[in-house]
Structure 1
Amino acid sequence: MKTLIIYTHPNHNSLVYSFLEKVIEGSKENPNIKEIQILDLYEESFNPLLVFNKEKRRRDMYRDPNLEKYREQIMWADKIVFIYPIWWGRPPAMLMGYIDQMFASNFAYKDKGGLLPEGLLKGKSVVCVSTMKGPANYPLLYLNNAHKILMKRALFSYVGIKKVKFFEFGNMESPKGKQTEKLNKVYRYFQSVK
């Protein structure tokens, strides 16, 4: 299994970065994971801004030469792991800008003229590891599970990815947030996932 890890946080001294380290550590100990690539969107200085004009059309985004490297990473991967904080009930703008550009028509999906497109990323799986300051049940009770619905239904299912696993950790700024326990949970998962 080839694993692409997409990390989205500007601070390498953060708890989110500790989750990245645990994902890498567990993955390296997993005999099912043969290769790992890491994409740190901030370190990469990924440009999340969409630009469309006479020369650059949205319908041609799937062949933008500036995004070729990232398209190759997605096609290469069997499993895509997203690691990010939840800010204001959703992933950071940097990650959303990556998604807007990478999950483009004629690369991630193809319109068939009907209600739903053909997902072109079938067979891949996704794991989302996210942290938030608020309580763990906040997204479910106050936001009607908007984050998971956004990621699973509106994005991954749309492009053909059916196998999606979430680690959504709340209370991460609290001294009683059980950070070590949650870090170890992620580590153990990646140590044995198939």
Structure 2
Amino acid sequence: MNLLIIYTHPNHQSLSYAFLQEVIRGSKENPNIKEVQVLDLYEEGFNPVLVFNEHKRRRDMHIDPDSAKYRDQILWADKIAFVYPIWWGRPPAMLMGYIDRMFSSGFAYKDTGKMLPEGLLKGKSVVCISFMKGPTHYPLLWLNNAHKVLMRKALFNYVGIKKVKFFEFGNMESPKGQHKEKLGKVYRYFRTVQ
């Protein structure tokens, strides 16, 4: 399989970056993964801002030449791994901007006139690896699982991606956060996933 890793954190000295490295390390040791591409949104200088005006229309986002490279990466990938922190109960604005720009009508889904569109990214799978300062069950108990609902139902299922796995780690700024165990869990998953 082809694996696209989308990393969203501005600091390469962070624990977030350590998770990215474990995803890469596990993937390189997995004979089922043919090729890996990493898109570091901050390092790339990705522009998350949507612009619509007389020259750029929303209905033409799926053919925007500025986004062609990123659309090609998504089409190339069999599995997409998102590595990001949870800030204010949701992914960073940089990642949400990427989603706004890339998962557009005509590329990720097609309106059919029915209640739900036709997802155009069927057959792909997604893994979301996220971490937060708060307790692991904070999103479930206080936010009604808003993060997972947003990613699974409002985004991935909408565009046809039904296989979605989550690693959602809490207490990551605590010295008792079991960092090594959590990093090892992610490494082992990518080393063996099929």
Paired residues for 1:99-114 under 5 Å:
99-114=99-114
| TM-score w.r.t. length of structure 2 | 1.00
Q: What are structure 2's unaligned runs of at least 5 residues?
A: none
Cα deviation digits, residues 80-107 of structure 1 (max 9, x gap)? 0000000000000000000000000000
- Tell me the equivalent position of 1:85: 85
Alignment size in residue pairs: 194
Is residue 102 of structure 2 the alignment partner of residue 72 of structure 1?
A: no
Aligned mates of 2:59, 2:99 — CA distance in 1: 15
Aligned residue identity for 1:33: I
Name the SS for the 1:115 alignment partner.
Answer: coil
Task: Give 1:55 shift.
Answer: 1.1
Aligned mates of 1:58, 1:93 — CA distance in 2: 19
Cα deviation digits, residues 34-55 of structure 1 (max 9, x gap)? 0000000000000000000111
Aligned mates of 1:59, 1:168 — CA distance in 2: 34
Is residue 88 of structure 2 the alignment partner of residue 117 of structure 1?
A: no
- Tell me the equivalent position of 2:165: 165
Q: What are structure 1's unaligned runs of at least 5 residues?
A: none
Aligned mates of 1:54, 1:69 — CA distance in 2: 23
Aligned residue identity for 2:54: K
Aligned mates of 1:138, 1:180 — CA distance in 2: 21
Name the SS for the 1:42 alignment partner.
Answer: helix
* RMSD, aligned CA: 0.3
Aligned mates of 1:167, 1:181 — CA distance in 2: 12
Name the SS for the 2:44 alignment partner.
Answer: coil
- Tell me the equivalent position of 1:184: 184
- Tell me the equivalent position of 2:4: 4
Aligned mates of 2:22, 2:63 — CA distance in 1: 34
| TM-score w.r.t. length of structure 1 | 1.00
Identity %: 77
Is residue 115 of structure 2 the alignment partner of residue 98 of structure 1?
A: no
Aligned mates of 1:49, 1:67 — CA distance in 2: 12
